[in-house]
Amino acid sequence: MAQHLDDANRKHVENFGDKGKLVLSPPSKKLIVVTCMDARIDTSSAFGLNEGEAHVIRNAGGRVQDSLRSIIVSQRLLATNEIAVVQHTDCGMLTFKNPDLQGILAEQHPEEKDKIDSIDFLPIPNLEGGVREDVQWLKEHPLVLKETVVTGWVYDVKTGKVSQVA
């Protein structure tokens, strides 16, 4: 089923070069990028990130609340000091509200309704507002290092361009 992963990896290994010499250490740009899992976004190409340079945390919407565990590990154990929050145009997370998805799930799994209703899927009410909200959330969170530089960006899936909004 996932044979294509193995096939693609063979080419990757052929071109791996000396990247095996990279060691477990703080990423050289000391940067965390939080962005959406959307399959249209190629983070290394879009943000000019090579192996060893940054931590990229991806989830549905690129929401920071869902990234906190990784952000803490990155900051406290691997010395990153900057976070770029990148959400994007045409994001699926702009298209529904919690009750919509909770309703679909509860229909299929009525016995799990309580559990389902306790999940916040973190949909985004509006794009730029969502980015600003997430940047603010990080700046105010007691477990995010105070000296962290936090910026917010919108990635346009039609042009590949990022624009800073916070």
* Range in contact with Zn ion (rule: CB under 5 A) among 5-13, 83-91, 97-105, 128-136: 83-91
166 vs 164: CA distance, rounded Å: 6
CA 26 to chain centre: 19
Contact 103, 116 (CB under 8 A): no
* Range in contact with Zn ion (rule: CB under 5 A) among 10-18, 31-39, 96-104, 133-141: 31-39
The residue within the footprint of Zn ion, chosen from 33, 91, 150, 154 (CB under 5 A), is: 91
The SS3 of residue 35 is strand
Is 141 labelled a binding residue? no
* 36 in contact with Zn ion (CB under 5 A): yes
Is 38 labelled a binding residue? yes
Contact 103, 41 (CB under 8 A): no
The SS3 of residue 138 is helix
Say which residue the tokens 């794009």 belong to.
Answer: 127
Is 114 labelled a binding residue? no
The residue within the footprint of Zn ion, chosen from 27, 29, 31, 38 (CB under 5 A), is: 38
* Range in contact with Zn ion (rule: CB under 5 A) among 38-46, 126-134, 137-145, 158-166: 38-46
**Which residues of the shown chain bind Zn ion in the complex (CB under 5 A)?**
36, 38, 91
